[in-house]
Amino acid sequence: MPDRGAQAVVDALPDGVVLAGPDSRVTVISQVAARMLGVPLDVVGRPLDEVLALRDQDDNAWCAHNRPYDGLPTRTAVPEQSWLLPSGEEVLVAAKIHRPALHQPVAEVAITIRSGRGRARLDRERSDLVATVAHELRSPLTGVKGFVQALLNRWDRLNDEQKKLMLTTVSADSDRLSRLIAELLDVARIDTGRLQLHPRPTDAGALTRRIVESVAAGTARPIDLTVEVDLPDIHADPDKFTQVVTNLVENAVRHGEGTVRVHLEPLRPGELADPSGVRITVDDEGEGIPKELRRRVFTKFWKGGKRGGSGLGLYIVGGLTKVHGGTVTIDDSPAGGARIVIAWPSGFPDL
């Protein structure tokens, strides 16, 4: 009979667990493992290779292939591998090999079995990531390569105005590539908590004016900026704040319609724990963002429209704002489109 304490522990685990003693016979099997393997719980005492009915793509059995009771005495584990249950479902199997001492035989083998669906989902997400990044990189690279090739092949037949136009396009596409790479690096740093910040007192109004002027220079869409008087300084990394507001304004220009309105005012009471700070509101006149999609807006590679973009901008907005102690919310704009509001404190959180 299995130890009741051990049985309770393995049954509480999300993965299947099988324990076998020095004679290679099962001593404990969890309910999850029994269900996966299609065996009853009373298999305790039966040979491990009989209970662990796992096969690989070449029809090898787990025990015969890995031989957990043989091999070098320094061997302590069997790394996670993909195996097939009798039902044909993929599972991920790993094992820990226990010896009282290096010169003594194996005392126990502990095997874990978990569904391969999580890995399959992760593989799909990685494939989607690779496909998205490849697509975003290919577009500007194609432009750069095409214009450079044209310049090399037809240099003597092109006039100065044509050369200048081509080089200007190459420069713009190169800037686009650099920005995408910077966004990917920021995403990785946000995900791993390795984002480097250099915060200091910052004039949010002055930075936003520069941002709006820069974005307005590259679009025919009108951008209306209102900065209220007596706006307090915020404590922020100016480069990261610029990145946040630029992404918001460009996103409104790209996906909205009509006039984009940017409004800066002091924080309203109760918006943040820090009573002092700046409220940044960006309104557009587009279709807006449905309530059921608003939770997804700040996830990686979310694209709400048919127009371009890497799908990383709002994810970075959310991450950079949060690490500064601020919040981002989405609402309906009075103009009929989307309204994104950032509450940015004057103080800075302990990192």
User: pLDDT of 74-103, one tens digit each?
Assistant: 889 999 888 888 888 888 999 999 999 888
Q: CATH top-level class for 200-345? A: alpha beta
Answer whether 90's CB lies under 8 Å from 118's CB.
Answer: no
Residues 6+ apart with CB under 8 A from 154: none
User: How is residue 104 written in tokens?
Assistant: 């003594």
Residues 6+ apart with CB under 8 A from 220: none
305 has a pLDDT exceeding 70: no
Residue 57: the pLDDT is: 81
Instruction: Please compute Rg for the chain using Cα positions.
Output: 30
Answer whether 237's CB lies under 8 Å from 198's CB.
Answer: yes
The confidence band for 128, taking pLDDT boundaries of 50, 70 and 90, is low
Of 69, 44, 70, 49, give the one whose Cα is nearest residue 61: 49
> Mean of the per-residue pLDDT values for the chain?
85
Of 251, 234, 246, give the one whose Cα is nearest residue 346: 234
The confidence band for 270, taking pLDDT boundaries of 50, 70 and 90, is confident
286 has a pLDDT exceeding 90: no
| Mean pLDDT calculated for residue range 309-332 | 84
User: pLDDT of 138-160, one tens digit each?
Assistant: 878 888 888 899 899 989 898 99
Q: Chain centroid to CA 124: how far?
A: 13
Higher pLDDT: 188 or 163? It is 163
Rounded Cα–Cα distance for residues 182 and 298 (Å): 18
Instruction: Count the neighbouring beta carbons within 10 Å of the beta carbon of residue 92.
Output: 17
Question: Any idea how long the chain is?
Answer: 351
Burial 172-199 (b: 16+ CB within 10 A, else e): ebeebbebbeebbebbeebeeeebeeeb
Using CA of residue 24, residue 28, residue 33, residue 39, what is the dihedral sign?
positive
Residue 351: the pLDDT is: 45
Least confident of 7-16, 180-189, 198-207, 311-320: 180-189
Least confident of 13-17, 97-101, 207-211, 290-294: 290-294
Query: Domain-by-domain residue ranges, the chain?
Result: 4-115, 120-192, 200-345
Phi, psi torsion values for 171, nearest 5 degrees: -65, -45
Rounded Cα–Cα distance for residues 51 and 24 (Å): 11
Of 24, 58, 54, give the one whose Cα is nearest residue 39: 54
284 has a pLDDT exceeding 70: yes
| Mean pLDDT calculated for residue range 193-209 | 89
Instruction: Count the neighbouring beta carbons within 10 Å of the beta carbon of residue 260.
Output: 29
Phi, psi torsion values for 234, nearest 5 degrees: -110, 160
User: pLDDT of 240-255, one tens digit each?
Assistant: 999 999 989 988 888 7
CATH for the 120-192 domain, from 3.40.1190.20, 1.10.3720.10, 1.10.10.10, 1.10.287.130: 1.10.287.130
The DSSP secondary-structure symbol of 55 reads: B
Between strands 90-98 and 108-115, the pairing is antiparallel
User: How is residue 333 written in tokens?
Assistant: 């704009």
Answer whether 24's CB lies under 8 Å from 51's CB.
Answer: no
Rounded Cα–Cα distance for residues 166 and 169 (Å): 5
331 class by beta-carbon count within 10 Å (0-12 exposed, 13-18 middle, 19+ buried):
middle
188 has a pLDDT exceeding 80: no
Helix residue ranges per DSSP H, the chain: 4-11, 31-37, 48-51, 62-66, 117-154, 160-192, 204-216, 238-255, 313-323
CATH for the 4-115 domain, from 3.30.1740.10, 2.60.40.790, 3.40.140.10, 3.30.450.20: 3.30.450.20
Residues 6+ apart with CB under 8 A from 175: none
